A and B are shown apart, each in its own frame.
Chain A
Amino acid sequence: MSATAIARTGEELLQLVSFRVEDEEFGLEILRVQEIIRIQQLTRVPASPAFIEGVINLRGRVIPVISLRRRFGLPQVPADKQTRIVVVEVNGSVLGFMVDAVSEVLRLPASAVEPAPRIGRVEREYVRGVGKLENRLLILLDIDRLMSEAEEEACVELTQP
């Protein structure tokens, strides 16, 4: 998505991984995604912020898993065969986002992305924009923002008795 790429193709193309949480579809830049894994045995971390589902063993690394359902204040559903963990690096640390299902990898022209209105239950500050596909909308998540605020909340939550 560099300037030269735009110059060559005439238009910038976003490559996105799309996933579903509840009935919303989200998109995440493919370069941010390290891998997508099936749900596995989670270890709960007591006294951790509510949006943290637990920690998992990713080939010898212990990484936290964040439930996007919890983060967005959506009702909990039991994990099923569709449930996936999207592994992403945010601010130098690796973490997983638990989503209901991963749909596909798609390309979207940058021009099809519009600034975010307030959509559903997802707060606008975590949304980088909304991508228009043929017959549906894709919410482009700002995970850096999402996590830096999550971390602040975690600190506040736990320093208060």
Chain B
Amino acid sequence: MINEMAQDPVLMEEFLTESEELLQRMDQDMVLLETHPQDAEILNRIFRALHTIKGTSGFLGFDAIVRLSHQAEDVLNFLRRDEIRVTTAIMDALLQSRDQLGVMLGDIRQGGLREYSLDALIAELVSAQKPAGEAQHKAESKAARLEKSASGKAGSAKTSSSGLKVAPAPSVPTASSVRILEAAASVAVAQSPAEPAAAPRVEAAKTTDPQGHTLRVDVGKLDELVNLIGELVLERNRLAQISRDLTSSLDDPRVIAEALSLSTSRLSFITDELQTTGLKTRMVPIETVFRKFPRLVRDVAHSLGKDVELIVRGEDTELDKTMVELIGDPLIHLVRNSLDHGLEMPELRVTKGKPRKGTIRLEARQEGDQIVISIRDDGAGIDPERVAKKAIEKGLVTPDRVRALSRAEILDFIFLPGFSTAEKTSNLSGRGVGMDVVRSNLKKMNGSVQLQSEVGAGTTVLLRLPLTLAILPVLLVRVREDVYALPLRSVIETARIERREVHKVEGGEILHLRDRTLPLLRLGRIFRQAEAPDGDDRAVILGLGERRVALLVDQLLGQESTVIKPLSSLFHHIACLSGATISGDGRVRLVLDPAGILAAAEGMHELARGASA
């Protein structure tokens, strides 16, 4: 029976969040254990995590969880005592148990435990407890023990062993919630002053969203936030004083003016800091995403018969919570691609003189105001000729055009919808959801994706993301009477251009800049406005991956860090706009979408080519 503790939403949220975190870490640790079977520290970590889940579940009355985790715990105990050895079969059973626990926790979130047929899994765990080829009597005694625990309705007997029932009844709720809080190392909330802790706790209680819209925030960040709010209050008091002085006009107006200007400059400093700190509270380490991968790589590599080592670096790189949620799927897709299409079968690798074991390197780092995530494999690489052939077959490009394209431009075809070079589709990748989805997901986050590949040596995919979704450094430009904002990260350079560098070609204009030829675009043309007399002599070179376009503008107005606001759905079909910002004078500035502009430029040139062909 589920006891009344399980009715307490705060307690339940704590239990679920904690257990889910433990399970995630356990996933990683279990895969690690398989490759480092002698590492007692890993083994102990898994054991402790499982024990914590078992203990709390027992206390809350989730008997099915207790029953399963108890058996898994026994297997771990045998491993700890060196009575059995780590084998793939044992790890499979343990990983399956972990997954099953995850399912159960998910069901609890959805409303409660269901009926589970755990017998097969438990039998597997029990057989794992048998040292391979050892005496029969030990296994029998084991079986007897299992029967006893099963018939004894698991829960009650096991709970007492976890020590929770020892506490006298009235004090149980507090004891348990403190214990839950303390168990997760990152929850500093419990030790923090009551005030800052209140906010996330309340939120945690309110939300029951399975996606986990709650956030564990480092107390240091919250303290900083509270300090800044304190300063804000002080500054408000100062302003109030100035206002009183003005009314009574006791002071010299000049003195008041000086005080006012001092106060506003302090105020702007505080609000800037407040904004930065506020955003920092939303930052979480990318580890929460990377954690999934050791398991994923293990399972997929096993099923493909490939030998793969996953190297993960930069797990502590922080990025916005929203971004962490959005980046998961594209990453899974890319890693699966590497496993499936990138890395060769072990035998083939050996004949090519490569190490039998393939390597996938997943790395995150911060570069300026961007986060760069790279997925690198030492596999077969992507053959541009095959890509070109496929692109021609699919009618994405004409054979004539291909000859004029650079290697990088050809590889870029991979990101077009409906493109897949996989000769046979497997159940892993090449299912039609391809790289175009990765690119469009990245675009949603104001990021970009870039591909580098060398035949025989491997492929690297670089994902670039802004640090946060909210703040965007932009370049303000004037085009006739309108001012637009261009995301700075897509601006490669700005140039003063001369008329003789611009050439009319079919479908538009091109710009010769140093030794490069770029499509040239006038905003008026995209927006189908009447052509204005030539006045523009400034070009902003925009770049996404390897693609470039020159955008003609009348004036560069400077840079600004802005907060991006969504535009009404009435404007969503305008491809070249991605949002709006509000500038210092309170006016709305439209934010141009570099990807849309590039597409428009390419579309125009494409149209002309089609017409001439």
Contact = CB atoms under 8 A, between A and B. Distances in A.
A60 B574 CA distance: 22
A62 B528 contact: no
A59 to B, nearest CB: 10
B570 A46 contact: no
A43 B565 CA distance: 14
Nearest to B528: A47
A57 B574 contact: no
B180 to A, nearest CB: 39
A145 to B, nearest CB: 15
Contact of B571 (A57, A60, A61, A64): A64
B529 A46 contact: yes
Contacts of A45: 567, 571, 574, 577, 590
B209 interface: no
Interface string A42-81: 0111111100100111001111100000000000000000
A38 B259 CA distance: 33
B161 interface: no
9 contacts: A45-B571, A46-B529, A55-B590, A57-B582, A57-B586, A62-B580, A63-B568, A64-B571, A158-B573
Contacts of A63: 568
B271 to A, nearest CB: 13
A49 B570 CA distance: 8
Nearest to B585: A41
Interface in A115-141: none
B403 interface: no
Task: Name the residue among A48, A60, A93 with the largest chain B CB count within 10 angstroms.
Answer: A48
A95 interface: yes
Nearest to A147: B570
Contact of A62 (B523, B567, B574): B567
Interface residues of B, number: 24
B526 A62 contact: no
A2 interface: no
B116 interface: no
A62 B589 CA distance: 10
Q: Chain A interface: which size bin?
A: 20 to 34
Contacts of B590: 43, 45, 55
Given A64-B570, A93-B569, 13 more contacts: A43-B589, A44-B482, A46-B527, A47-B528, A48-B574, A62-B566, A62-B568, A62-B582, A63-B568, A64-B571, A151-B570, A154-B573, A158-B574
A159 interface: yes
Contacts of A106: none
Contacts of A56: 588
Contacts of A158: 573-574
Interface string A137-161: 0000000000000110011001100
* Chain B interface SS verdict (over half): mixed
A61 B577 contact: no
A59 B239 CA distance: 22
Interface of A: 41, 43-49, 52, 55-57, 60-64, 93, 95, 150-151, 154-155, 158-159
B587 interface: yes
A127 B20 CA distance: 55
Given A41-B587, A56-B588, A151 B571 contact: no
Contacts of B571: 45, 48, 64
A93 B566 CA distance: 11
Contacts of A55: 567-568, 580, 588, 590
Nearest to B524: A46
> Interface majority SS on A: helix, strand, loop or mixed?
mixed
Interface in B577-606: 577, 580, 582, 586-590
B528 A61 contact: no
Contact of A43 (B523, B529, B588): B588
Interface string B533-577: 000000000000000000000000000000001111111011011
Contacts of A154: 570, 573
Nearest to A55: B588
A56 B582 CA distance: 9
Interface string B226-250: 0000000000000000000000000
A155 B573 contact: yes
Nearest to A94: B568
Contacts of A62: 565-568, 580, 582, 588
Contact of B568 (A44, A47, A93): A93
Contacts of A47: 526-528, 574, 576
A46 to B, nearest CB: 3
Contacts of A44: 482
Contact of A41 (B482, B567, B569, B586): B586
A158 B568 CA distance: 15
For A47, A60, A61, A62, the residue with the greatest tally of chain B CB atoms inside 10 Å of its CB is A62
A44 B527 CA distance: 12
Contacts of B568: 55, 62-64, 93, 95
A62 B569 CA distance: 12
A46 B523 contact: yes
Contacts of A61: 565
Most buried by B among A43, A52, A151: A43
A44 B590 CA distance: 9
A18 to B, nearest CB: 26
A57 B526 contact: no
Nearest to A63: B568
